[in-house]
Amino acid sequence: MFNIFTRLFGSWQNILIGIPGTLIALAGHEFAHGLVSDKLGDPTPRSQGRLTLNPFAHLDLVGTILMILTGFGWAKPVEVNPRYYKNPKAGMAVTAAAGPLANLIMAFIAMLLYAAFLVMNIKLNLGWYGAVNTVGSILSFFAFRNLCFMVFNFIPIPPLDGAKVLGIIVPNRIYYTIMQYERYSMILIMLLSISGALSAVIGTGVNFFMDGITNLLNGLIRIIV
């Protein structure tokens, strides 16, 4: 079991920060889905107790196991009812996008906190270089995990969020045809995850967003320092 966890998180040190960080990222993702749907008039997430940041309310057995084995997985999807939306198709797209965007926001906040701690250490001449490295490792890992969830979920294959977001730009006939194959697409996603075929796609996306966040914050640090 330890070898499985080290495959996912890299080392026993990363396990200590990786598991809580992963749970927080998952909870934030699903909470965002439920919150947006609730704001659009759908009582379903609230009635099912999904408007919570408690990660154990959102865990999915298969998704969690797949995450341990491959590094990519999913939480228990928040059930929504688009019939409550004024525009069901647009409401579904906005609700679907909320989860990955929540992960992007959490990743940015994590790296912003790291930058703030770094600037404070420099400006006040604290000499806390070891603490800076430790905090940087924790927050960077958390940001990385969030970006993995974001990129993975934006892949336009049902039932991932990207397929629902895609619905806002494709004709209804095509969109509903795609969604009919959701149960078979899940098997495809599992096979692609286990085979490692998704790694290159997700890695490219994660590096793109991490580089963008890092470059932005480096620019701010140079201005401040």
CA dist 217 and 185 (Å) reads: 38
Band (pLDDT 50/70/90 cuts) for residue 167 is confident
Total residue length of the chain: 225
- Span 23-37, average pLDDT: 94
Q: How far apart are CA 18 and CA 138, in angstroms?
A: 8
Query: How many independent structural domains does the chain possess?
Result: 1
What CA–CA distance (Å, rounded) separates 222 from 119? 10
Mean pLDDT, range 144-164, rounded to an integer: 89
* Rounded CA separation 202/116 (Å): 28
Cα–Cα distance for residue pair 205/208, rounded to 1 Å: 5
The model's pTM is 0.85
Band of residue 6 on the pLDDT scale cut at 50, 70, 90: very low
> Which structural domain, as residue segments, surrounds residue 12?
2-224
pLDDT digits 0-9 by tens, 35-60: 999 999 999 999 999 999 998 899 88
Peptide bond into 45 cis (omega under 30): no
Active-site residues, by number, are 30
Please compute the mean of the pLDDT values over residues 109-123 and round it to a whole number: 90
